[in-house]
Structure 1
Amino acid sequence: MNDKDDRAHPFPHSDEAVARAGLTPETAQTRSPAYRLAFTDRDFLLREELRPLRLQLELLKPQMVMDERGIESTVVMFGGARIPAPQNTDLARTQTLAELSKYYEQARLFAREMTRRSLETYGRDFVICTGGGPGVMEAGNMGADEAGGASIGLGIVLPHEQAPNAYVTPDLCFNFHYFAIRKMHFLMRARAITVFPGGFGTLDELFETLTLVQTKRMKPIPILLFGAEFWNRILNWDALADAGTISAADLDLFHYVETAEEAVAIIDAWKEPC
C-alpha cells in the first residue's frame, strides 16, 4: 500500500483483505475454492469465462508500468529472431540468413543512436521497443544498452521456450499471452516503426501497422523497411497496386533504408502529412 492509495479512498487496501483472509480459522467452509477471494483465486482467473478480464489485465499492466516510468513515445523494431550476429554467421541455418546478419549490426547501431536521442529527453521519448527475443530484437536492446539507456521488451509465451535477451531493461521486460494485446502495445506509443527482415511474425506486425495507417485508425508515422532487396523479393507491392487492391498512394506509406544513418535521417526529417 502507498500514500496514493491512502488518499484515494477510506476503504481497506486489497493487501489487507488478503492478510486478514489468511488469519481465518481453517474449516470445511474456508477450505472450499468458493471461499477464496476472487482476485487471489488462480483457478477462477484462468476460467474460459474470464478471458475478457485477462485481456484487460494484459493491456493495463504494461500501460501502468510504462506510465509510471514516464515513457511517452517509443521507436519500435520488428525483425527476425533467426538473424544471427555477424560473428555467429557459422550458426545460421541458411546462407541467406548469414548474409542478412549485416542488418543485425545496423539494428544495433540504429538503436544506439535513437537511445542517445532518448537520453536527451531523460528517457521519456524515442525509447527502443522490441519483441525482447533473439536476432534483430537482441540487437536493438543491445544498442540501447550500449548507449546507456533503457529499452522495452514485449515478449510472448510460445510453445518452445524463449527467454528474454539479456539486454532488455529488466523492469521494462513484459510477457504476453495474447498476440493482439502485444501488438497494441507495440503501436500505442510508437513515433517510428522499423522493420528488418523476418518471417511470419514480422510480416504480421508490418501488415498490422500498414493496415492501421492506411485505414486512418493510426496517425502516419515513419515506417522504415531495412533491406529493399529482401522485401522486394518476398513482396510484390507493385502487383497489389496494379491489381487495384491497394492504391498507388499506399506505396508511400513506407520507405526502404539500408543503414542506421538513413533511418535516423528520415525520422529526424519527418513531418506528418497534411
Structure 2
Amino acid sequence: MTDTDPRAGRTAKHSGQVVLRGSQYETSTTDQHLLDTAGSSDWVRNDPWRVMRIQSEFVEGFGALADLGPAVSVFGSARTLPDDPHYERAAELGARLVHAGYAVITGGGPGIMEAANKGANQAGGVSVGLGIELPFEQGLNDYVDLGVNFRYFFARKTMFVKYAQGFVVFPGGFGTLDELFEALTLVQTRKVTAFPIVLVGSDYWDGMVDWIRRTLVDAKTIAPEDAQLVTLTDDLDEVLNVLAVAEAARRGRGTDGE
C-alpha cells in the first residue's frame, strides 16, 4: 500500500465485531447513545431492544473468560511510553504474575496495559485484553492473546472484577481512577471478598492515599478500616505477597471470589 492509496491512513473504529472506516466512521459510541437522553424520545422505543445487545456482551465475555483460571487485572495510563520506568515495571510485573500462576487481564490498549500484556505474553502466560469502543480508536495491543471488544463500559468492567483475584494499579488518569474506586466500593460493601487492591508508584499515589486516610476518615465519610483497603508500594515483591495472602484467605473461606 502506497501513500497515494486512498485507503492509506484511514481511521478505523471497532464497534463490537463491526469495523467502521471512511464514510461509515463516526465519533459517537454505543455508550453515548445509551446514556445521552438529550434530543428525541426515540430512546423510549429503542432502549428495550438494547437489552438484547447488552445481554450478548455479557454472554460473549463470560464464554470467552470462563476457563481463564486465576488472573489479576492490571490498570494504568494508556499514555505511558515504553521508555517510562512504570512501563518497564508493568512488563516485569506481567511476567512475574505469570510465574506465580496468574493470567494477566488489562484493558488491551497501549501504555501500561501493553506493558503488562507484553510481560505476560513473553513469559509464556495468558495475556488478556478487554477492549472498549471509544471515539478515538486504540485497538488491542499486539501482546494480547485473548481479546474481547466491548461496546458498554459496565459489561467490560464486570469482566475485570469477576475473572480477577485482585487489581494492581499503576499511575493513570480518569479511566484508571474509575476502575480503582469502583473496586474499592465493591470491597467496602462486600460485594467481593478477599480482593486485594495494590497501587504501584508511591510518588504518584501518595497524595491521594493521604487524602483518603486523612480527609475522608477525619470527615467520617468512610470508616478508618476502609482506608486500609488499598496497599501502596513500590516493591513488586510486596505486590506478589499481597496477592498470595489474599489467595490464602480466599481458600480458607472456601470461596472463589464471585
- Structure 2 CA distance, aligned partners of 1:257 and 1:232? 10
Aligned partner (choices 74, 78, 99) of residue 77 of structure 1: 74
Which residue matches 1:272? 249
Which residue matches 2:167? 193
Which residue matches 1:57? 56
| Aligned partner of residue 139 in structure 2, secondary structure | coil
Deviation string 1:155-204 (CA, Å, 9 cap, x unpaired) is 001001111111000xx111111101110000002112101110000000
- TM-superposed deviation, 1:234: 4.2
CA contact (8 A) 1:107 1:136 kept: yes
Residues 51-200 of structure 1 aligned to structure 2 (within 5 Å): 51-67=50-66, 70-86=67-83, 101-118=84-101, 126-169=102-145, 172-200=146-174
Task: Say which structure is richer in helix.
Answer: 1
Which residue matches 1:245? 221
- Structure 1 CA distance, aligned partners of 2:85 and 2:226? 28
- TM-superposed deviation, 1:208: 0.4
Which residue matches 1:203? 177
Which residue matches 1:262? 238
- Structure 2 CA distance, aligned partners of 1:251 and 1:49? 40
TM-score computed with the length of structure 1 as normaliser = 0.71
CA contact (8 A) 1:109 1:143 kept: yes
Aligned length: 203
CA contact (8 A) 1:197 1:230 kept: yes
| Aligned partner of residue 100 in structure 2, secondary structure | helix
- TM-superposed deviation, 1:219: 1.0
- Structure 2 CA distance, aligned partners of 1:79 and 1:113? 17
- Structure 2 CA distance, aligned partners of 1:267 and 1:217? 18
Deviation string 1:47-81 (CA, Å, 9 cap, x unpaired) is 543111111111110211222xx213310001110
Which residue matches 1:43? none
- Structure 2 CA distance, aligned partners of 1:247 and 1:64? 38
Letter in 2 for 1:111: G
- Structure 2 CA distance, aligned partners of 1:102 and 1:253? 26
TM-score computed with the length of structure 2 as normaliser = 0.75
- Structure 2 CA distance, aligned partners of 1:268 and 1:212? 20
- Structure 1 CA distance, aligned partners of 2:227 and 2:158? 23
- Structure 2 CA distance, aligned partners of 1:165 and 1:261? 27
- TM-superposed deviation, 1:266: 2.1
| Aligned partner of residue 173 in structure 1, secondary structure | strand
Letter in 1 for 2:222: I
| Aligned partner of residue 218 in structure 2, secondary structure | helix
- TM-superposed deviation, 1:150: 1.6
CA contact (8 A) 1:106 1:259 kept: no
- Structure 2 CA distance, aligned partners of 1:219 and 1:112? 26
Which has more radius of gyration?
1
Unmatched tracts of structure 2, length 5 or more: 1-45, 254-258
- TM-superposed deviation, 1:252: 1.1
- TM-superposed deviation, 1:265: 2.2
- Structure 2 CA distance, aligned partners of 1:244 and 1:205? 23
- TM-superposed deviation, 1:218: 1.0
